[in-house]
Structure 1
Amino acid sequence: MQYRSLGVISAVLISLVCMGSVLAAGDMTKQKPIELKVSLGNDKNAMRFFPDKLEFETGKLYKLILHNEGKEKHYFSSEGLAQAVFTRKTQVVSADGKVIAEIKGTVREIEVYPGGTAEWWFVPVKATEIKDLKCTIKGHAEAGMTGLITIK
């Protein structure tokens, strides 16, 4: 009886391992990124993210392009997003489109100077709704520079 139970448990474990292999098929490093552009302020409204509602899907690679169209620096800050994604890299892009710096590791906040662009490459790993997106410069969030992030 005890040996039969071990056989059943072994068969279940082997089935789960094989099923996991099927569910995880594919090379995620070969994904083409889904590009999403977010403007940090613009000529009409310097204290807004455009768009201010962002939606992502787990398991897909995104290239979030943050461009500051305003006349002062802004922050793209979200602890919740940092905890819900795997960051592949973050890049600083020059005005002529060349990558001039690459940062690895967890990203909680990105500062973008006027006219500047940063790219955040990540894969969402947790479905959630995040309400902490804001610019952390004093007075900016209070003036409306906030946003909502949904990961499905």
Structure 2
Amino acid sequence: MAHTPFQLQRDSYGRLVLIDENGERHEGVVPVRAFPIAAPDDGIALVNSEGHEAGWADRLSDLPAAERALIEEELASREFMPAIEAILAVSSFACPSTWQVRTDRGPAEVLLKGEEDIRRLPQGRLLIADSHGIQFLIRDPAALDRHSRRLLDRFL
């Protein structure tokens, strides 16, 4: 574990405070992933209220446990990207189409406006934007069950 040039703590309002190696306090910092989908644990910027980088971590796993826990807690409260585990049904193979899916966060309904709302990402991943602005992730389309793959193939 590498030495971290900053410390993190919460203030009385629950906001993150970064104390840099010079002892300067940066209140209300927000962690931002550099590569949220391709490498979510690599490259974490801690951005101050003016939008300037106050701290940087190459890898989340390199941070001391206390700082890592605070960053993970903050990211979890801000990020919402359910991962689709199965496609149960689709209303139509033409868009718009409503999908009934099972995600890692429970059942959901996805309204797909157009096939352009399905984006291919590196490593075979798919990002699906529904009409409400929620991003759904399919980590590995080949790992889906046969029924789900058949339904998905109709849109790719």
Same fold (TM over 0.5): no
Query: Larger radius of gyration, structure 1 or 2?
Result: 1
TM-score range, shorter chain: under 0.3
Q: TM-score normalized by structure 2? A: 0.24
| TM-score, with length taken from structure 1 | 0.25
